[in-house]
Chain A
Amino acid sequence: MALPPPPAVELRALTKRFGGLLANAGVDLRVAAGTIHGVIGENGAGKSTAMKLLLGLLPADAGQIFIRGERWARPSPAGARALGLGMVHQHFLLADPYTALDNLLLAEGPGRPLLLRRDAARAELRALAQRHGLEMDWDAPVASLPVGVRQRLEILKLLAGRAEILVLDEPTAVLTPLETGRLFEQLRRLRDEGKTVILVTHKLREVMAVTDQISVFRAGRVTGERRTSETTPEELAQLMVGRPVALRWAAAPGLAGGEERLAVADLGLAAVGGAARPRLSGITFSVGAGEIVGVAGVEGNGQSELIQALLHPCDRRCRTGGTVRILGREVTRWSPRAIRDLGVGVVPEDRLREGLLPARPLWENFLLGRQREPAFQRGGLLRPAAVAAAAARAVADYDVRPPALGQAAGALSGGNQQKLILARELGRAPRLILAAQPTRGVDVGAIEDIHQRLVRARDAGAGVLLVSSELEEIRALADRTLVMFDGRIVAEYPRGGATERELGLKMGGA
């Protein structure tokens, strides 16, 4: 009797520590050859770290890696290439000013002739791309290629390097639903050609759609292995979080027809760096008191620019046309501070980068943006006692843990950082809330709490603009939904007015 073929990849008890953080606490993972294998887990569950260990990008503290049944004793990036391992990183490893061709020539690595033979390489790559059904403009600088094409270039890079085992880290974050479908087709085709694909993602729907087998990560370990055909999203969610979770939750509808809180007319932001399309154009919408207006769209279609334009309308780098009215006042030429002082609360897209001073204590983070409120300063000098008292109240109110005011904000978990920001921004009783990706990277347990806080603020009369790339979030919370594509608003729906499929098509520009 023949032995079954060895797994393409096997990780045994892999352990990796970053300072005090145990990122991988004994990861065991087997990936069968010729399959698409899903790796799912929440942010910080250790999936990315495990993949970096597998690719030889980081040394493991303990544990073993086997490739096709053979022990790989000394992992390194060069060794990974030799073994046919390759990865498409979430942030593409491409250099903008260089052509697609040069980016691929680089990927050939060491041990090649010193002189570059571009013509020969171009001919070979054309043939390779044709074989796999992947189109590419080889002489265009990467900067001019759309995101989907860049991803294709990354995949071609691996194929040109004769990779047999392909790891894709969150490949769909930047893709429209349509492009995602095309990518999945491509992955199936690669599998049928005999390649092994590992798909790292946090989206349950995607692993259900395309994989053969699924491993679930939680707290640095693999907590479950399932055959895709034999599991459900609910079961996977429970494995990810460690307890049953309600995947579907919908807020009660808000009051329609409240007075205007935000009105945007023909907002625009010109193109930069040779791009053909403006980054924002013709943006017109309004948000009333007591309603949540959701902005759906694939990342990178102008949502971040929209929030920046609302916060910094007087900055030419943020807005080049149109008007912004907040609480009935034309604020287009106002300073950001004056706009905030009208009663605008901001939950920024990237907490650590835009919301907090990671190295500073909680109380100072609580004060950030509120330092000019009369309660906290007198004559330009801070009142530390008053700040500390208010911060302590807010931290208790929003259940930020641990509630140590002197502790650095960077040491909090993602969910607690977000609660601290909400405590600060909602604590001012804002009349308009701009919330961007409020639950990104937040543990599932905290998501519901954050959602309810936003709904409560709405019920208290605030207008809420909610930007999210998670369709579920938009559908659960938004009383009205705008869809953004390519810097424009391409559709508007009332609550429940569109199916996910319709939304998905609009997000892709259809």
Chain B
Amino acid sequence: MTNRLQPIFAVAVGLALGLVVTALAGENPLHVLAVLARGAFGTRYGLGLTLAYATPLVFTGLSVAVAFRAGLFNVGAEGQLTMGALAAAAVGAVWPGWGAPGAWLAAGTAAVAAGMAWGAVPGVLRAWRGSHEVINTIMLNFIAAGLANYVTMYVLRNPASQNPETRPVGPGYMLAPWAWFAGAPVGWGLPLAIGVAVAVGWWLERSVTGLELRALGENEPAARAAGINAGRVRVLAFALAGGLAGLVAVPEVLGNTGRFRPAFSAQYGFLGIAVALLGRNRPGGILAAALLFGALQKGATDLDMETDHVTRELALVFQALIILAVAAEGAWEMVFRRRARPC
């Protein structure tokens, strides 16, 4: 019971602490809250941007969650999505003439494959060399950023732009946004995210491989004694995690910018950890958590204009405080124990 309610309380505490910060800054917290809510849900366009921020977070949240169910900590979704987006943009830039749906398929496949390959690296290192994945994935994030920078600057540079970015993908690759959202980049990426979430959840519970993956995460020695090849399952889990993160390319590159820009990701990879944690590594929870974080992101962009003393970085503060509130297990035990033990 406490377990199920804890994320909701944690969100409330995180938001409350964030509002305290705004009050200290000299803003009326209720006004800030109103700006956030109106910005995130008040208009079709605003709602669209909320969903556009939330969609990549669903993918990265799933990426972290799949690894986590296998007992692995994927701090590398940021690098994996970088490689995925770069691959999709590269396919679209190198063969701009292709038309839908083959172009979609090619770019999507490239994104997933690149994410999987990059994700498999820490899996292989863990399986073969036993080196811990947290540091490796952090390092791989920086390496991915460096490599992507190089490709953007020297290989696929868009000569028509002052900013570092790759040449745009051909028109056949683009997923048109839905008109209802009044110009916000929401299209088929959103149903794809929801569908993938449902499929991943179902696969984990009902498939033989999913069972093996969960068994490994639950108890490695037992999984090994049961004949499960721990190394292979780890590589598989990490490759899957990387592929899921790579899918961020679909809403971001094919559904929005049509090219790769080195700093396009608004910390999606790191926020994916928070989304998975808040969503308890379950698809439904991840969808809800991603929506919340997307709303904070979008709502906060309006703070620059509609308030005097706070900026859009407040979104990071809110998100961080929610993560910390979810993580502080001992604090919640103290709160709940008092109620659970009347005697």
Contact = CB atoms under 8 A, between A and B. Distances in A.
A360 B225 contact: no
A44 B321 CA distance: 42
9 contacts: A311-B225, A335-B227, A339-B227, A348-B221, A354-B222, A357-B219, A359-B218, A368-B222, A381-B207
Contacts of B225: 311, 346, 348, 354-355, 369
Interface stretch (B95-103, B208-216, B268-276, B301-309): B208-216
B208 A360 contact: no
A381 B218 CA distance: 20
Contacts of A371: 208, 211-212
A381 B219 contact: no
A109 interface: no
B158 interface: no
Contacts of B208: 371-372, 377, 380-382
A364 B206 CA distance: 11
A357 B212 contact: no
A89 interface: no
B227 A336 contact: yes
A367 B221 contact: no
B287 to A, nearest CB: 24
B221 A350 contact: yes
Contacts of B228: 336-337, 369
A353 B226 CA distance: 12
B224 interface: yes
Contacts, number: 69
A340 interface: yes
A105 to B, nearest CB: 31
Interface string A337-367: 1011100001010100111111110001001
B229 A335 contact: yes
A312 interface: yes
Contacts of B226: 340, 368-369
Given A336-B227, A367-B211, A371-B211, A355 B222 contact: yes
A369 B221 CA distance: 12
Nearest to A341: B227
B222 A357 contact: yes
A439 to B, nearest CB: 18
A339 B222 CA distance: 16
Given A335-B229, A364-B211, 10 more contacts: A311-B224, A311-B225, A341-B227, A346-B225, A353-B222, A368-B215, A369-B228, A372-B208, A382-B206, A384-B206
B219 to A, nearest CB: 5
A357 B224 contact: no
Contact of B229 (A337, A367, A369, A377): A337
- Pick the most buried of B206, B209, B222, B226: most chain A CB atoms within 10 A of its CB: B226
Nearest to A346: B225
Nearest to A355: B222
Contacts of A364: 211
Interface in B195-215: 206-209, 211-212, 214-215
A377 B209 CA distance: 11
A178 B207 CA distance: 53
Which of B206, B212, B219, B221 has its CB near the most chain A CB atoms (within 10 A)? B219
B341 to A, nearest CB: 11
A382 B210 CA distance: 10
Nearest to B223: A368
Nearest to A347: B225
Contacts of A355: 222, 225
Contact of B227 (A340, A354, A360, A384): A340
B4 to A, nearest CB: 16
A337 B211 contact: no
Contacts of B219: 353-354, 356-358
Interface in B216-271: 218-219, 221-229
A127 B209 CA distance: 62
Given A336-B227, A355-B225, A382 B207 contact: yes
A369 B218 contact: no
B185 to A, nearest CB: 36
Contacts of A357: 215, 218-219, 222
A336 B223 CA distance: 11
Contacts of B212: 371
Contacts of B221: 348, 350, 353-354
A157 B277 CA distance: 44
A367 B209 CA distance: 13
Nearest to A377: B208
Given A357-B219, A358-B219, A359-B218, A312 B207 contact: no
B229 A360 contact: no
A381 B222 contact: no
Nearest to B226: A369
Contacts of A382: 206-208, 211
B229 A336 contact: yes
Nearest to A365: B222
A305 B342 CA distance: 49
Contacts of B209: 380
A382 B202 CA distance: 11
B340 to A, nearest CB: 11
A368 B207 CA distance: 13
Interface string A269-301: 000000000000000000000000000000000
A380 to B, nearest CB: 5
Interface string B274-288: 000000000000000
Nearest to A373: B208
A178 B103 CA distance: 76
Nearest to B217: A357
A52 to B, nearest CB: 21
A40 B225 CA distance: 32
A336 B215 contact: no
Nearest to A314: B229
A370 to B, nearest CB: 8
A493 B224 CA distance: 32
Interface in B46-94: none
Most buried by A among B214, B218, B225: B225
A154 B134 CA distance: 36
Most buried by A among B221, B227, B228: B227
Interface in A375-399: 377, 380-382, 384
Contacts of A353: 219, 221-222
A336 B224 contact: yes
B222 A356 contact: yes
Interface string A24-56: 000000000000000000000000000000000
A341 B229 CA distance: 14
A346 B223 CA distance: 12
A337 B225 CA distance: 9
A371 B211 CA distance: 8
A346 B221 CA distance: 13
Contacts of B224: 311-312, 336, 354
A422 to B, nearest CB: 14
A350 to B, nearest CB: 7
Contacts of A360: 214, 218
Nearest to B231: A315
A440 to B, nearest CB: 15
